[in-house]
Structure 1
Amino acid sequence: MCRTGQESQKPDGDEDVDATDAAFSALLEDSAEELYERAPCGYLSTLMDGTIVKINATLLDWLGLSRRLVVGRMRFTDLLTVGGKLYHETHFAPLLRMSGEVNGIALDIKAGDGRRLPVLVTSRVKSSADGEPMLIRTTVFDARDRRAYEAELLHARQAAEEARRQAEADRERLQEALAVLQRSLLPSELPDVPGLEAASHYHTASPDLLGGDFYDLFPLDGTRWAFFLGDVCGKGPEAAAVTSLTRYTLRAAVLHDPDPVTVLTTLNTVLNERYTSGDTRYCTAVFGVLHPRGDTCTVRVASGGHPSALIQRANGTTEFLPTPGGMLIGVLPEAQFAPAHTELLPGDTLLLYTDGLTEARTGPKRELFGEDALCAFAAAHAPAGPKALVTALTALIAGFGDGLDDDTALLALGIPASSTVAASDDLT
């Protein structure tokens, strides 16, 4: 039986499949082209001399240029700013020729209206089968948001740096003001005491805080001199106020009665009555009176809660001048203070100090320096007078470094060893 020509025709179902495949292929081609043209980044292809042969709509929109004006008429470098052209010539192009690709280089392109557009550029060389360079494919990413962020970050960094500089300047001014105030709470220099030598030193643990240590030396009359050294609790303006009140109270009290115990009793009354509202303020102090006579000097002192004075004798021995039982000044309405007295001979030195010295942390175990170590230190130095002893202690304090976290005041008084020689010369 013969069949008709309809036998060579495809079934209806197969025709529908072919039509679908064709439509899908066309859709893929259309989608690929659309993706290229409207991608979120710019694309362009150039010949090896930089002539633009293909560019997508995204990049044209950024530039505000028409395809007719760009393709075949402009080179990639024509899209760059003057600085971008220079960088392209000296860095970008040589690196591309050498390695065949350049990734994420920051450049500025210029739009048709003259605007500068920050971009990140990645370029790769496409070669033929035999390795001959044919095209350069370039991707351009919009970096305006990134540049704005970088500018904002830079502005923030500059503002932070300016704030840091301002804070540092304010801190320096504050330190200068605190130093001036601190000096106002101490004698600018010690007076010359006939027949005696005096030396002092003040170490500030923190330039940002007012310390509460204080000392003074001043004449009572034609033959006697008063001195004191102490430490107010706390730091800062409140401590400075107590220090000022303490200094002027001691100076005034001794004019009424030079007895050291009486002077400290007066100070105790003033501090206790002044700070009775719950903000208790107190101090420790040693107050004394010097009475030089010939080549000796009588010393009468009283102590309120303060470390004992140290005596470096001319024969090389050292000893403390004990004042046991002296109470903190200003805590109680009535307080007991410990009196003591001694005689200084030529070559002897009396040292007063605050506990910043003995409570310094030393060694690997950060142990307290302590009074025993202070006594041993003084004994290890030949007796050469107050100035020599204070100089040696100043070097010791500097060596403590961050182990010294409290202010330290030193006041040394003594009779120069040369007084003995002078006295012998007078006898002859």
Structure 2
Amino acid sequence: MNNYLLKNAYLYNQGIFQKTDILVKDGYIEEISSNIENGDMPVIDLQGKLVSHNFIDIHTHLREPGFEHKETIHTGSLSALYGGYGTIVAMANTNPCMDDIETVLDFKHRVEQDGCVNIYTYSAITQNLQGQKLVDMARLIDEDIVVGFSDDGKGVQSDEMMELAMQLASNLDSIIVAHCEDESELHGGCIHEGRYAKEHHLIGINSASEYKQVARDLEIVRQYHNRYHVCHISTKETVALLNEAQKEGLSVSGEASPHHLILTEDNIKDCHPNFKMNPPLRSQEDHQALIQGLNDRTITVIATDHAPHARDEKNTSIQNAPFGIIGLQHAFPLLYTYLVKKNLVSLETILDALTVGPAQVLHFDCQVQTGSLANLCIFDLDQSFTIEEKDLKSKSANTPFLGTTCYGRIFANIMNGEFINLEEK
């Protein structure tokens, strides 16, 4: 259905909430105003439900090709659809790696067949994420499905290689999306090097493993003035470094993941592997810095780092389990429940970090106005529900939030003009 009238919407747009009607014709927004007459249009009375542009996730792992036992393009994007997302960007750590034109074109074909939302991808920075040789950046960025470069899953260890990548990205007016992890600081750790690791005799991951590479990268940005984005920020030092660079006027941005904004090492229970992610859950002090960074707009993006793993892969000790949790389907309800309802972050800030923030980083369109294609999500802030495994759309269930009661249920998602009632699917 792409012809309808949304009555009694509570629309969030450009920093303002307003009670309004929204008329959609042939998938495009024809009018936004109060008391629109429906004519012969089907009417959907939202009864005051919240409406915003649907969300944009610029950091997700769809696992296809190569790891379809964990997730597929269809199941991952279906999770996104049910989470209120309209656009997602996949990481390049597939098999084969997204580092050549043949693999990218194959991925594009798969997306056209199986995608439930708008899907883009990053190219790898280096061939097979090995950090030894750059991909053909100029050729790959010509493909409209490629929106930037990332070796996410591994940090680029060579200073010279990262400098060359940023120089070329600057020449191409493209972006480096950096997984910052200095491997010289790693010692086989599985959680943050803090209280919980010491109490349970686990090898810890220190904060320097993240912020040392951020500091290195920002020095390169100062030389080439390229676009640069920091993935999954977890430490107070990274927030401070990013804030300083932004004050200098550099074109740099950063993201935090819902789990780092909600949880700390103190929330880990029973050494359960569903609390193992990279970067790890950090200290209370780091968590407070992330919240402050989100509130003062140092961090302008919330990205899920959706990282599915098969049940048998995660069903082992925390030391041996793979890093990562799923996050697309329930990001907004969790953020609303744990941050907005607890008065830690405003609803406006959360919505901006899920929409205009990521859109600005990757130069996506994110407008809700007359003449624009309708891409909206609709949620009931008062409706509560419990996250249960049976309701997950992902192939995987690796999340520490199973059994959590949330508010802010996604009622419908309007994808490229089509109204999709998620309550009926």
Higher helix fraction (1 or 2): 1
Could you say which structure has the greater relative contact order, defined with CA pairs below 8 angstroms and 6 or more residues apart?
2
Name which one, 1 or 2, has greater alpha-carbon Rg: 1
Provide the TM-score with structure 1 as the length reference. Answer: 0.26
